Amino acid sequence: MVKINRRQLILFGTASVGTIFFTNKFNQNISSQPLPSSNVFDVYKSSNGLLELDLEAKENLVNIGNTKASLLTYNGKIPAPRLEVKPGDKVRIHFTNSLSQPTNIHYHGLHIPIQGNADNVFLHIKPKEKVTYQFQIPNNHLSGTFWYHPHLHGFVAEQLFGGLAGLFIVRGDLDEIPEIKSAKEEFLVLQDFAVDSNGRVANSAHMSLMTGREGNIITVNGQVNPRISFPETGLLRLRILNASPSRFYRLALENHSFYQIATDGGGLNKPIEVKELLLTPGQRAEVLIKGNQPAKEYRLLNLPYNRGGMGMMGGVGMMGGMGMRNGDSRDNTPMVLATVNYESSGQSSSIPNELVAVSPLPEPQTVRTFELNHGMNPSVGMAFLINGLAYRSDRIHTQVRVNTVEDWEIINTGVMDHPLHIHNNAFQVISRNGKPEDLLAWRDTVLVKTGETVRIRIAFRDFVGKTVYHCHILDHEDLGMMGNLMING
């Protein structure tokens, strides 16, 4: 296979930047063996209106590429089980915490109750403790690609970086569109890992928590460079989740456009053609790809992206030794995430013209401002701040009224990009630096780059109680860039 050499060169070039310690491990992942398959999920689907399963968080020895690593898993595997429901379904998850730390589960992007044993990020589930999560997906829930992961403040980045992340799919009208229904469907969970020579997850003491921890083993569904095949002349539907705690992915497929059909919160009005797709931590996208090129192998690439913070940390030297690159991809080498090829031809299929109805939210009753920055805290060092405050669990940072609409103006006055995430209700981006946004889409995580002002519009619907908003670079969240949001009745 001639391609291996090229890939080897590219991968090696990437790994060698700022990497001493992990270089060997990384090279072990490159071999001339056939590429692994991308389709490796355990899947649990609801039946007769109920999704019920046992889910255990535990440390387990798993293969990441050719590396054996002791990672944090749901039910022993990377990737975690993929859960699939329909609007109106009931969900019952019998959860056991077999980790050595407390944890809990957040259902990222789902619009479900935030109190009790539902999407309650304030639950504190001790080691050995069992909790049954129980909730119902509303009848009018949008179909889309959602996910679940731990959310106990102070442990989130570490537990996610250990591997704990799974897809939570709501199937509905988007899935019924004939062209989409007939497309080959693949799920891509993007995760990066850093593993030491004993197969242990690299200790946070060796990582740049300021810019957010990154690992240099980059995986799709726990595989290094898996193969994705779909029928020539047909359509491939990729449902992509960035489940990395800090790494941004700027995706491109050689010789192919993406036809984006969904963002975080569900489908778009109509597909939009893009050459590349930026996914910040926490974000999801769905795209269609046409099999209309010569039948050969195409690389799904992660292109370089600079998310800032370089100057502040004194350059690569500070963490280069552990291979935790600062600010991502300072080198200009694309990385290979997966290899796409065609199977013998299928029926030909075209991109749909119309998707689902997304209507603009009504004018807001309230406008608020949130300033994202960082500062020094005399006792703990670096702190990440929203409106000058680091997170405190005993404070309510923002109070809103249920069934009202608000505009939030988010201003990033710091030196790093921050993807801001709000729990429970999806929002629409209204403008960026005063320029109206033209894509009408449901999101739950929005990138606010250094120096930018982004205005979003959000309706607080149906559910009252306390939840949170935060930067989805999870070290920033754990270091204070989070607020408690009280939705009052």
Task: Point out which residues bind ligand C2O (CB under 6 A).
Answer: 106, 108, 149, 151, 282, 421, 423, 468, 470, 472
Answer whether 220's CB lies under 8 Å from 187's CB.
Answer: no
Closer of 236 and 454 to ligand C2O (Cβ): 454
323 binds, among ligand C2O, Cu ion, none (CB under 5 to 8 A by kind): none
CB nearer to ligand C2O: give 263 or 339: 263
Q: Which residue is nearest to ligand C2O (CB)?
A: 108
333 with 304: CB under 8 angstroms? yes
Number of residues in contact with Cu ion under rule CB under 5 A: 6
Residues 6+ apart with CB under 8 A from 255: 293, 298
Task: Determine which residue in the list 25, 82, 86, 108 makes contact with Cu ion, applying CB under 5 A.
Answer: 108
Instruction: List the interface residues with Cu ion, window 402-431 (CB under 5 A).
Output: 418, 423
As a whole number of angstroms, the distance between CA 312 and CA 180 comes to 46
Q: How far is the CB of 470 from ligand C2O (least distance, A)?
A: 6
> For strand 235-242 and strand 184-193, is the pairing parallel, antiparallel, or unpaired?
parallel
Minimum CB distance to ligand C2O, residue 153 (Å): 10
For ligand C2O, give the closer residue by CB, 290 or 470.
470
Q: What is the smallest separation between the CB atom of 468 and ligand C2O, expressed in angstroms?
A: 6
457 binds, among ligand C2O, Cu ion, none (CB under 5 to 8 A by kind): none
Between 323 and 483, CB nearer to ligand C2O: 483
Q: Which does 151 bind (CB under 5 to 8 A by kind): ligand C2O, Cu ion, none?
A: ligand C2O
Closest to ligand C2O by CB, 322 vs 444, is 444
d(CA 445, CA 469) in angstroms, rounded, equals: 10
Q: How far apart are CA 441 and CA 377, in angstroms?
A: 38
356 or 422: CB nearest ligand C2O: 422
State the Cα–Cα distance between residues 489 and 485, nearest whole angstrom. 13
The binder of 237, among Cu ion, ligand C2O, none, by C-beta within 5 to 8 A per type, is none
Q: For ligand C2O, which is the closer residue by CB, 184 or 421?
A: 421
Cβ atoms of 427 and 456 within 8 Å: the answer is yes
394 near 401, Cβ under 8 Å? no
For residues 348 to 377, the per-residue mask of contacts with Cu ion, x marking binding by CB under 5 A and - elsewhere, is ------------------------------
Q: Where are the alpha helices (DSSP H) in 250-405?
A: 317-320
- Cα–Cα distance measured from residue 369 to residue 387, given in angstroms and rounded to the nearest whole number: 8
Residue where the block lists tokens 């990737």: 79
**DSSP code of 243?**
-
The distance of closest approach from Cβ of residue 311 to ligand C2O in the complex, given in angstroms and rounded to an integer, is: 28
Cis preceding-peptide flag for 360 (omega within 30 of 0): no
473 binds, among Cu ion, ligand C2O, none (CB under 5 to 8 A by kind): Cu ion
Yes or no: say if 295 and 340 are a contact pair by the CB < 8 Å rule: no
Region of 102-110, 141-149, 214-222, 305-313 interacting with Cu ion (CB under 5 A): 102-110
Q: What is the DSSP string of 224-288?
A: SS-EEEEETTSEEEEEEEE--SS--EEEEETTB-EEEEEETTEEEEEEEEES-EEE-TT-EEEEE
- Identity of the residue numbered 10: I
Q: How many Å separate Cα 131 from the centre of its chain?
A: 25
Q: Which of 335, 175, 347, 165 is nearest to 249 (CA)?
A: 335
DSSP state letter for 342: E
- CB-nearer residue toward ligand C2O: 299 or 472: 472
How far, in Å, CA of 427 to CA of 290, rounded? Answer: 30
Report what 184 binds from ligand C2O, Cu ion, none; CB cut-off 5-8 Å by kind. none
Query: Minimum distance between the CB of residue 327 and ligand C2O, rounded to whole angstroms?
Result: 21
Q: With CB cut-offs between 5 and 8 Å by kind, which of ligand C2O, Cu ion, none does residue 470 bind?
A: ligand C2O
Q: Tell me how far the alpha carbon of residue 281 is from its chain's centroid.
A: 4
Our CB check for Cu ion shows the closer of 210 and 251 to be 210
Cα–Cα distance measured from residue 179 to residue 293, given in angstroms and rounded to the nearest whole number: 19
Structure tokens at 179: 């062209």
CA angle 391, 396, 401 (to 5 degrees): 135
Contacts to Cu ion from residues 458-487, by CB under 5 A: 471, 473, 476
476 binds, among Cu ion, ligand C2O, none (CB under 5 to 8 A by kind): Cu ion
Would you say how long the chain is, in residues?
489
**Residue 418 interaction partner, one of Cu ion, ligand C2O, none, beta carbon < 5-8 Å per kind:** Cu ion
Residue 287 vs 420, nearer CB to ligand C2O? 420
Tell me whether residue 159 or residue 225 sits nearer to ligand C2O (CB atom).
Answer: 159
Name residue 341's beta-bridge partners.
229
With CB cut-offs between 5 and 8 Å by kind, which of ligand C2O, Cu ion, none does residue 471 bind? Cu ion
Separation of alpha carbons 342 and 468, rounded Å: 43
Task: Establish if 239 lies at the interface with Cu ion (CB under 5 A).
Answer: no
234 binds, among Cu ion, ligand C2O, none (CB under 5 to 8 A by kind): none
Interface residues with Cu ion (CB under 5 A)?
108, 418, 423, 471, 473, 476
